[in-house]
Amino acid sequence: MEQFNLIGKNARVYGTIGNFNTIGEQAKIEEKSQIGNCCNIGAGVHIGNYITIGNNATIEADIPDGCTIGNNVTIKAGVLLGKNNIIHDNCVLRGNTLIGDNNEFLPGCIIGFWPKDIGDHHYEGALKIGDNNFFGENTIINVGEKTTKGDATIIGDGIYSMDKVTINHNDRIAVNNEIPDSPRAFTTIISSGVSLAGHVEVGKGANLGMQMVAHQFSKIGAGAMIGMNANITKNVPPFAKVIGTKVVGYNKRPLAENLEFGTYEDEYLELVGYMLETACKAENTEDAIEKLNQYKGLGQWYDKALAVIVEFLESEQNGRKLMKLRK
Burial of 260-272, coded b for 16+ CB within 10 Å and e otherwise, reads ebeeeeeeebebb
Mean pLDDT, range 101-121, rounded to an integer? 87
Q: What is the pLDDT of residue 305?
A: 81
Q: What is the pLDDT of residue 193?
A: 97
Condensed to tens digits (0 to 9), the pLDDT of residues 131-156 reads 999 999 999 999 998 877 778 999 99
Q: Which residues face 16 on adjacent strands? A: 34
Mean pLDDT, range 244-253, rounded to an integer? 82
Q: What is the pLDDT of residue 39?
A: 97
pLDDT surpassing 60 at residue 260: no
Share of the chain above pLDDT 70, in %: 88
Mean pLDDT, range 18-46, rounded to an integer? 96
The rounded distance, in Å, linking the Cα atoms of 310 and 275 is 10
Q: What is the pLDDT of residue 274?
A: 84
Mean pLDDT, range 92-105, rounded to an integer? 97
Q: Is residue 140 a contact partner of residue 170, using CB atoms and an 8 Å limit?
A: no
Q: What is the pLDDT of residue 276?
A: 85
Taking the CA atoms of residue 256, residue 257, residue 259 and residue 262 in that order, the dihedral angle to the nearest 10 degrees is 50
Residue range 1-77 forms a domain whose CATH class is: mainly beta
> Closest by alpha carbon to 55, among 16, 89, 91, 104?
89
The rounded distance, in Å, linking the Cα atoms of 251 and 232 is 17
pLDDT band at 223 (very low <50, low <70, confident <90, very high): confident
Highest-confidence segment of 206-215, 253-262, 288-297: 206-215
Mean pLDDT, range 258-275, rounded to an integer? 66
Q: What is the pLDDT of residue 19?
A: 94
The rounded distance, in Å, linking the Cα atoms of 286 and 278 is 12
The rounded distance, in Å, linking the Cα atoms of 245 and 241 is 10
Q: What is the pLDDT of residue 119?
A: 64
Among the ranges given (83-87, 223-227, 257-261), the one the predictor scored with the smallest mean pLDDT = 257-261
Residues 6+ apart with CB under 8 A from 310: 289, 292
> Closest by alpha carbon to 285, among 309, 302, 304?
309
Q: What is the pLDDT of residue 306?
A: 86
Is the alpha carbon torsion for 101, 109, 87, 145 positive or negative? negative
pLDDT surpassing 90 at residue 173: yes
The structure's pTM equals 0.90
Q: What is the pLDDT of residue 219?
A: 93
How is the chain split into domains, by residue range? 1-77
Q: What is the pLDDT of residue 249?
A: 80
Mean pLDDT, range 286-307, rounded to an integer? 83
pLDDT band at 61 (very low <50, low <70, confident <90, very high): very high
pLDDT surpassing 90 at residue 166: yes
Q: DSSP readout, 193-256? A: T-EE-TT-EE-TT-EEPTT-EE-TT-EE-TT-EE-TT-EE-SBB-TTEEEETTEEEEE-HHHHH
Q: To the nearest whole number, what is the mean pLDDT of the chain?
A: 88
pLDDT band at 83 (very low <50, low <70, confident <90, very high): very high
